[in-house]
Structure 1
């Protein structure tokens, strides 16, 4: 389903929002992240896929590959460490900890009894666990019933204590908050709720690093940016940066989510942060969220032009297309939640009326963000019919052949 947001505006980035998230704070977060050894140095790749662009009837298609951000395999590695660092700096202001020292464990002894907790669908929890391990504090992660064993094992491998519940993601958020209250722990969540906005803001601000890298790699900019839904954090972090940078000439922003986890779509209908209308049980695990983050919605309501919902099988087809590559398109490993934008674009290519409604045509320059790799390798192989290792081998071969051709030229 496609919904044009009646509240979308085209104006300079409002000061009220700039006081919450800004390019200046995003740049500070980016500088801090450069000290975290877990992250790979430099920016993640921004791949141009000309064959896929031609298939979909647009001038240019770029995919930002966050699977290569770190061994953690997702963009969440940008948010959790920033939120944790900012929380510790606030809690221990008198100690005057340095950020590089925090991220390299220099104050582990002083932080040994400091405990953070969060609910997760997988990637945020893994990133928080890894950040806590680097810092030297304790970490507890609450998992709901639909989180795969593979993802649980990856989080536990980062030293986190795991708590399992039988309910949904939203119930795991409530359980984490209750445990924090009972034990004197600190919640480091990527979704906001009543009375809890500072940490989610810091998480979202970390995602500005991704947007900054896109701007540096493709200064000509994009006409359309497709963003994953979930609770809205990634979309808000990217929209914030690009809106402040481009003002009223901002791109068309499109947010995509599973039809059974359509909290942002429902928020656009209601004109306020709302809950999903469906079961929230989607194979797009990172987007299977039932309740919109109110803080994220403050950024999305005035800026996102269109909201779309997808069926799960459309994500599977998009995963396979990226994995296959083509003569001019590098093969990419993209997990279930990473391909929402491509799945939406493929549907629009089959619906000229909807494409025309958002100004999508043969002159469009489109940005997609592949937010994760095969963070659950078994699930990935089952859905794509090929292991991530096999796809990566073909990716390396593609790069080698291109370098060889360039050398011969």
Structure 2
């Protein structure tokens, strides 16, 4: 199993902890109501993969396909729209009486989402992206009305550019990662992701998952998914498995060392939207107390996931996932098929009674 590293973690968070104040039931309901008010809102599909579950000897597998979200090919609009509206004191995503430029750094999807939401509140947007980004990602951001600039060799360099310009030119920074002194906007973005969980549970007929596999770049998505589950106070939480690319496994390395670790240099991975060198400080504080396992995977794992999802088993629907969206499916497939993974299956408790929830966070890059 050379392409996968797994680190077991002890869940230690008290469900009544004040650290979960950001994830109350009222917040979840407010977020969902906000997204429902946006023109074009529809629930994204939740696919039940019965054939694959039977093949892998699991109780059920469901995957939320975020490629359909607001026509933007990823889940990121949920966080960006909620944060931008609340930053301007808006109850809906609507034109505000403002003359500002929103600035962010991105590996692709977040920048596109910020540009899309900025247009809808009447703001301009300036997006920094690492050097050498796929031209298709840049074109998709520009198509939403943004100015795009290169910002160094990695995501962290791009963030530094965004911070510098926002301060120098009095722009508004809408970043999806937190650090000391910058927590409010990232928390709003994280809360915006609650909608995915609320929809998935409703669509499944409230069949509660035993396991949730979720991707991590800086960790804000994972924190949002975990926070959403903790917001259902009357329920026991699933086991959360946090999944990253080996070329940018900042959360995995932080868990391994017991503190925030920065991965320097250019991050070599196909999973561009998970290519981050340092975790969000607030997300990390939650993940280290709530994850059952941290996993880093090679690119072959996500390519396997794309194949498994696009070439379905039996009568399962096909799910067309992107390279950052399919890694959890690839990991689950390998864990259940590879004889060398029996130890990991055992400590995660994966078996015929397991109900697994996955998120395909993006569609293919077109």
* TM-score for both structures, normalised by structure 2: 0.94
Kindly indicate whether residue 356 of structure 2 is the aligned counterpart of residue 366 of structure 1: yes
> What residue number does 1:69 align with?
69
> What residue number does 2:150 align with?
164
Instruction: Measure the CA separation in 1 of the matches of 2:187 and 2:335.
Output: 32
Q: Where is the helix percentage greater, Structure 1 or Structure 2?
A: 1
Distance change (3 Å), C-alpha of 1:296 and 1:178: same
Supply the RMSD in Å over aligned alpha carbons.
1.6
What is the aligned counterpart of 2:24 among 2, 9, 22? 22
Contact 2:48/2:316 (<8 A) preserved: yes
> What residue number does 2:47 align with?
47
Distance change (3 Å), C-alpha of 1:320 and 1:278: farther
Instruction: Measure the CA separation in 1 of the matches of 2:76 and 2:53.
Output: 27
Instruction: Measure the CA separation in 2 of the matches of 1:260 and 1:24.
Output: 38
Which runs of 5 or more residues in structure 1 are unaligned?
A: 90-97, 378-409
What is the aligned counterpart of 2:334 among 325, 335, 347? 347
Contact 1:9/1:303 (<8 A) preserved: yes
> What residue number does 2:254 align with?
267
* Offset from partner CA, 1:33-67 (integer Å, 9 cap, x none): 22222x432x2111110111122221100001111
4+ residue runs of structure 1 moved beyond 6 angstroms? none
Contact 1:259/1:278 (<8 A) preserved: no
Contact 1:142/1:162 (<8 A) preserved: yes
Aligned length: 358
Contact 1:59/1:364 (<8 A) preserved: yes
Instruction: Measure the CA separation in 2 of the matches of 1:197 and 1:5.
Output: 25
Give the secondary structure class of the aligned counterpart of 1:20.
helix
Kindly indicate whether residue 135 of structure 2 is the aligned counterpart of residue 153 of structure 1: no
Task: Using the TM superposition, give the Cα deviation of residue 70 of structure 1 relative to its aligned residue in structure 2, in angstroms.
Answer: 1.7
Give the secondary structure class of the aligned counterpart of 1:141.
strand
Task: Using the TM superposition, give the Cα deviation of residue 10 of structure 1 relative to its aligned residue in structure 2, in angstroms.
Answer: 6.1
* Offset from partner CA, 1:339-364 (integer Å, 9 cap, x none): 12112112211111111111111211
Instruction: Measure the CA separation in 2 of the matches of 1:18 and 1:307.
Output: 21
Which is further off, 113-122 or 245-254?
Answer: 245-254
Instruction: Measure the CA separation in 2 of the matches of 1:146 and 1:354.
Output: 37
> What residue number does 1:207 align with?
193
Counterpart mapping for 1:273-284 below 5 A: 273-276=260-263, 279-284=266-271
Distance change (3 Å), C-alpha of 1:163 and 1:10: closer
Instruction: Measure the CA separation in 1 of the matches of 2:361 and 2:261.
Output: 24
Instruction: Measure the CA separation in 1 of the matches of 2:349 and 2:265.
Output: 29
Kindly indicate whether residue 12 of structure 2 is the aligned counterpart of residue 9 of structure 1: yes
> What residue number does 1:325 align with?
312
> What residue number does 1:289 align with?
276
Counterpart mapping for 1:6-405 below 5 A: 6=10, 8-9=11-12, 11-14=14-17, 16-37=18-39, 39-41=40-42, 43-89=43-89, 98-100=90-92, 103-105=93-95, 107=96, 110-111=97-98, 113-218=99-204, 219-245=206-232, 249-276=236-263, 279-349=266-336, 350=338, 351-374=341-364, 376-377=365-366
> What residue number does 1:397 align with?
none
Task: Using the TM superposition, give the Cα deviation of residue 277 of structure 1 relative to its aligned residue in structure 2, in angstroms.
Answer: 7.3
Distance change (3 Å), C-alpha of 1:352 and 1:121: same
* TM-score for both structures, normalised by structure 1: 0.84
Instruction: Measure the CA separation in 2 of the matches of 1:278 and 1:259.
Output: 14
Which runs of 5 or more residues in structure 2 are unaligned?
A: none
Task: Using the TM superposition, give the Cα deviation of residue 279 of structure 1 relative to its aligned residue in structure 2, in angstroms.
Answer: 4.8
Give the secondary structure class of the aligned counterpart of 1:373.
coil
Larger Rg: 1 or 2?
A: 1
